[in-house]
Structures are given as C-alpha cells and as structure tokens.
Amino acid sequence: MALGNLLKSAVAVLSLVLAAAAAASDALPEVSHDGLHLLKGTKLRAVYMKPGANLDSYNKVALLACYVAFNKNWQRNQNDEAIGLSDMISDQDMARIRTDLATEFNKVFTDVLTKAGHQMVTSGGTGVLIVQPAIVNLEVTAPDTMSPGMEQTFSASAGQMTLYMQLYDGKTGDIIARIIDPEVAGDDMVRISNSVTNLAAAEEVLRRWATILSSHLGEVNAATTAKQ
C-alpha cells in the first residue's frame, strides 16, 4: 500500500473530530464514524481504538512524515497585531516553521521509539504498525521572522498545537487507533521567544507524546482487553 495516501482519509474526518475534542466540557462520541471505540482513563485527550485490536502483535513501526497545519486564522491575526514590516509573517515564514516542526517531530519520535526497543522501518507489512502523525491548529505565540535587528519578545508560552495521529495495520491497511491531544508548549514560565526557544518548547511536548505512544503499545492493549 502507498503510505503517503493514508493522509487523504485523515483529512476527510479531521475537522469533525477536532471540533468535538476542542472543548473539555464537550462529550466525545463513544464510537467514531469508522467504528473505533473511545477508551477511558488515558493520558491523552481522546484515544479511539478498534475493538479486539492487539498492539502487542506489532514489532516494527513505520513512521510517516508529519503533516503540519496552522490554525486557519493564525497568520492574519499575527499580521493584524504586527508593529512593523519586520514583524509580519510571510508565507515563507510559515513554510519554514512547518518544515522545522515536522522534521523535529519525526526526529524526536524516532529517537524515543528506537530507544524503547521498537524497530523502525520505512514500509508496511506483517507485524508493522504504521503511524500517521499530524500537528494541526498550530499557533506560535511569538514567531521568529529572522529579521535583522528584531527586538526580543517575551511570552508565557511558545504556543499551542494539537496532535492528530492515526495507527494502521501495515499488512491490511485497516485503521487501528486514532489519537487526539491538544497541548500548550512551554507554558511554565515567561521566556524570551525566538526560533530556538520555540522549537525547544515544542520538543518537550513532542517527547511527551512519543513517550506515551511508546508505552501505549502495551497500555492501549491492556485497556482494550479490560473493556471487553
């Protein structure tokens, strides 16, 4: 199967699921549109799992390139508040941020999963768990436009982003699980914000997500077994 084509199926349902997960007070549906069941008591905002799925049967992981999408109005809102031309966010700035974050995502996840003993592969097959990651609703609080002489900017957080991840069986292509988790990056202190500190704050969140996914290979299976 073509791994890159899996993104198309995710985009079709992305806005619907995120709308339900956006507010903590909203009740998430117990069963998704494609038959996945909501698990209780996880460390993430929402985890949907295929009934009877057994993640213990996967000994390899194929991590697809991470898709990154900004909040729909982020660029416009940033530019409306810009003091001068040097603070304006260009399309090139957005492309750079997306590329940097996508690269960091795959770097961190590969590092964490490899150290946890998961074999990383580049194609599907028997025993392969395909991980299709996306970061959506990305908002950077104080983006660094790399302009010469740009003044230092202080912020209480680097921004926010939502993890939208789907897990597939590498042999059949069937979806096994869907994970949704909105997070604030670097919300523990007021700090100088630039491309380096923003990426470092994002890495903290990415490493947390990667660690949870690694442990989830056992935790989700246990939760599914207990529910049956």
According to DSSP, the β-strands at 46-49 and 175-185 are antiparallel
CA neighbor of 139 nearest in space, from 207, 86, 69, 85 = 69
How does pLDDT run along the chain (228 residues), one tens digit per residue?
A: 444 454 544 544 454 455 544 444 467 889 998 999 998 888 888 889 999 887 778 889 999 999 998 888 888 887 887 666 767 888 898 898 889 889 999 999 999 999 988 899 999 999 999 999 998 888 877 555 554 444 433 333 457 888 999 999 999 999 999 999 888 764 443 333 445 566 677 888 888 889 988 886 645 444 444 444
> For position 26, what pLDDT does the model report?
60
N- to C-terminal Cα separation, the chain? 31
> For position 203, what pLDDT does the model report?
84
Instruction: Enter the tokens of residue 43.
Output: 């460390």
All structural domains of the chain with their residue ranges: 3-227
Q: What is the CA radius of gyration of the chain?
A: 18
- Between CA 155 and CA 201 the distance in angstroms is 12
> For position 174, what pLDDT does the model report?
94
Residue indicated by tokens 């097959």: 125
Residues in the chain: 228
- Between CA 47 and CA 219 the distance in angstroms is 11
